[in-house]
Amino acid sequence: MDGQARPTDWTALAVQLRSVGAGDGFERGSDTLARAAIVQLLGDDAMRDAVDFYVTHRPGSELARSVLWLLHPWSAMQRCHEIFASDDADVDERRSAVELLRVVADRRVLPWIPLYLADPDPSIRGLGIGVVDQLLFADLIEFEDGAEMIAHACADEDPHVREAANRILADREETNSAPAP
């Protein structure tokens, strides 16, 4: 197979992702498992590289963002947070990393949100509450999971951060007052 890719061991991948049962013949598939398989096939380094590429805003960065949004890889979430926390990253890279996290994140990022909301840069604080907003919109968290962070953002010194947090509350109020279908 000189010059050709090795065939994928789908059985091993299915076992690793727990898509097949332990000898009981049970198999399952889903879009979530498919995304996890793609991430596994491409590798965590490729996901991290896509984040690094995105935050530099080079041509093709929106494609990288779209792939990461589709896949929601944990390694990309971690890389976004690493860039945010890095002393080597400039403010634009830090902002871009938190902005990307809005679409890449799942509930595992919730412990990081208070760090974004405490950042001295109001744009990062606004993007941080934007992560909570997107998690709520995508039904990846319940309102109660983000309520304390939303309340914190409602008291932010920056009017744009307060406005974003208040918009979340208004959307919730509107949803709760809508008649049941």
- pLDDT tens-digit profile of 143-153? 999 999 999 99
Q: What angle do CA 145, 146, 151 make, to 5 degrees?
A: 135
CA 58 to chain centroid, in Å, comes to: 21
Task: Give yes or no: residues 128 and 165 share one domain.
Answer: yes
Instruction: Flag whether 8 is in a domain.
Output: no
C-alpha–C-alpha distance, residues 169 and 133, integer Å: 10
The confidence score (pLDDT) of residue 64 equals 96
- Is 140 within the bounds of a domain? yes
**Exposed, middle or buried by CB within 10 Å (0-12, 13-18, 19+), for 174?**
exposed
Q: What is the pLDDT of residue 23?
A: 64
Query: At residue 8, what is the residue type?
Result: T
Task: Give the structural domain span for 166.
Answer: 105-176
Enumerate the β-bridge partners of residue 20.
27
How many domains, the chain? 2
Q: Tell me, yes or no, whether 89 and 112 share the same domain.
A: no
For residue 60, being part of any structural domain is answered with yes
Where residue 1 falls among pLDDT bands split at 50, 70, 90? very low
- To the question of pTM greater than 0.85 for the whole model, the response is yes
